[in-house]
A = this chain, B = another copy of it.
Amino acid sequence: MNARTLGTKLVGVIPPMMTPFRENGDLDLDMHQRNMTHWEKDELCGYLVLGSNSESAFLSYDEKLRLIETTAAAASDNRIVLAGTGVESTQETIRLTNAAAKRGAHAALVLTPCYYNDQMTDEALIAHFGHIADHSDIPILIYNVPKFTHINISLTAVARLSNHPNIIGMKDSTGDVPRLAALLANASKEFHIIVGTAAAWFPALMLGIECGILALANLAPNQCASVQNSVRSGNLDSARELYLKMLPVNAAITNRFGIAGLKYAADLAGYEGGSVRSPLLPLGGQAKHEIKEILGTAGLL
């Protein structure tokens, strides 16, 4: 699939999929497979494997490839498969990206490198993403998530990179709506700005953004899709109401209770979250109780 064709598929909702582990920390591909079967029936336009919510930071190279393979095999043809392939080293990111391409990923989501954060100047980031895009067998997207990386790629750098034919978009997870507006105004017209959090989903749609990679879509994919459908059909009040109803759920699974909270909420909603990997801690009873209440109030039980 070429960059332009791929771009046309970036319309709708994509879950940054959690990765189910057994209690002993082993990867459980069967659980992942069953989640895929479930998501295939939901209103989604694709999948992101190996995002932040996938606990990618804890996965080995081999585990990453197996997850991509399983995902690509289970995804229906009309759905796009994105794989998170960004690691700290430019060369290693290229290697993983091209291995992901071989396993069936259609495009790669490349995290901003961040360990040597004060060296990650515009110049360094432009060189990094440009070099990866030059050597990648599939189109790439920038992944900007300062909450985890403490790097917030500048508008200038994005504008510049948006002209690269093999860089087709960016997932911006800041939740900073004025920034999304400025990105839309500054990037090239064919560049896809994707909102990376349900906290900004309705406002992003109102700006004209067409795609959301939303942690919330792991457990409430159809509600996320419904917000977008209502906007499309001009029912803004319905869209806003459903968006506001989902906000407390989103806050719980992204900020307050972290990935363990996301997985437990997914369990409650009929998916299979599995355990988290250490050093993440399992949820306590009180946290579970609160999540149950929050999901109940939102009509997700």
CA gap between A247 and B183 in the complex, in Å: 11
Q: Is there an interface contact between A91 and B278, defined as CB atoms closer than 8 Å?
A: yes
Is A279 part of the binding interface, using a Cβ–Cβ cutoff of 8 Å? yes
Is A280 part of the binding interface, using a Cβ–Cβ cutoff of 8 Å? yes
CA gap between A52 and B115 in the complex, in Å: 9
The size of the chain A interface, using a CB distance under 8 A, is 59
Q: Is there an interface contact between A57 and B88, defined as CB atoms closer than 8 Å?
A: yes
Interface residues of A in 98-117 (CB under 8 A from B): 113, 115-117
**Which secondary structure characterizes the binding site on chain A?**
helix
Q: Is there an interface contact between A119 and B281, defined as CB atoms closer than 8 Å?
A: yes
Is A243 part of the binding interface, using a Cβ–Cβ cutoff of 8 Å? yes
Nearest CB in chain B: distance from A135 CB, A:
11
Q: Is there an interface contact between A208 and B240, defined as CB atoms closer than 8 Å?
A: yes
* 0 or 1 for each of A116-136: is its CB under 8 Å from B? (1 = yes): 111111011101100100000
B residues less than 8 Å from A178 (CB atoms): 175, 177, 197, 199-200, 203, 247
Nearest CB in chain B: distance from A253 CB, A:
13
Is A191 part of the binding interface, using a Cβ–Cβ cutoff of 8 Å? no
Closest to A26 in B: B91
Q: Is there an interface contact between B148 and A116, defined as CB atoms closer than 8 Å?
A: yes
CA gap between A48 and B141 in the complex, in Å: 37
Q: Is there an interface contact between B247 and A279, defined as CB atoms closer than 8 Å?
A: no
- Which residue of B115, B124, B243 contacts A57 across the interface (Cβ within 8 Å)? B115
- Which residue of B57, B185, B206, B258 contacts A247 across the interface (Cβ within 8 Å)? B185
List 9 interface pairs A-B (beta carbons < 8 Å), by A numbering. A58-B92, A88-B279, A115-B148, A119-B279, A124-B280, A127-B281, A178-B199, A181-B243, A185-B248
